[in-house]
Amino acid sequence: MDRDMKEKISIRDAVASDLDAVISLDQWAPQEEKPDYWSDVFDHYVRRDNNDRLFLVAESNNRVVGFIIGEVRAWEFGSPPCGWVFALAVSPNSRQIGIGEQMFEEISKRLKQAGVTTVRTMVDRDDKLTLSFFRSLGLCTGKYIELEKQID
């Protein structure tokens, strides 16, 4: 990837026709569950016009090379309104050129416009790459601690 490529990246709101491209970029959901999962996500974040819900894609040469999803959530866990980023992906062939950072900056800007001043996410402790990425953007351990247990 060269600088010319970087300059051609645009970040825009996702549209219904991005569904297949997003599914192909998703590394997390199991293959068989992807269509249902992503159809629900598109219903919630793309097909409904709501400034508190954001689904952005990064596009290069008319091709979707990344996406980021987030929303404003209020009073869950006693937290005042804050922005949550709960999904982010960049095509393996388009990494290391700042697409993730561009998408994160754009969604942060939109979340601020929606009235919040904190953005929050959650990452698997063993996912060093993603944790390092968010750290490099200035995120650090927040005020809330995630707790869990196995149910017998």
Please report, as ranges, the residues that interact with other proteins according to CB under 8 A.
125, 128, 131-132, 135-136, 138, 141
Q: How far is the CB of 125 from other proteins (least distance, A)?
A: 5
Taking the least distance from each CB to other proteins, the nearer of 80 and 138 is: 138
Among residues 112 and 135, whose Cβ is nearest to other proteins? 135
Q: How far is the CB of 39 from other proteins (least distance, A)?
A: 33
Indicate the residue among 15 and 137 with the shorter CB distance to other proteins. Answer: 137
Q: State the minimum distance, in angstroms, from the CB of residue 137 to other proteins.
A: 9
User: b/e for 117-144, b at 16 or more Cβ within 10 A?
Assistant: eebbbebeeeeeeeeebbeeeebeeeee
Minimum distance between the CB of residue 140 and other proteins, rounded to whole angstroms? 8
Q: Which residues contact 132 (CB under 8 A, 6 or more apart)?
A: none
SS3 121: coil
**Phi, psi dihedral angles at 133 (to 5 degrees):** -60, -50
Spatial distance between the Cα atoms of 66 and 102, rounded to a whole number of angstroms: 10
Is residue 19 classed as helix, strand or coil in its secondary structure?
Answer: helix
Judged by CB, which is closer to other proteins: 13, or 105? 105
Are 15 and 42 in contact by the 8 Å Cβ rule? The answer is no
Q: Closest approach of Cβ 129 to other proteins, in Å?
A: 9
* Closer Cβ to other proteins, 19 or 139, answer by number: 139
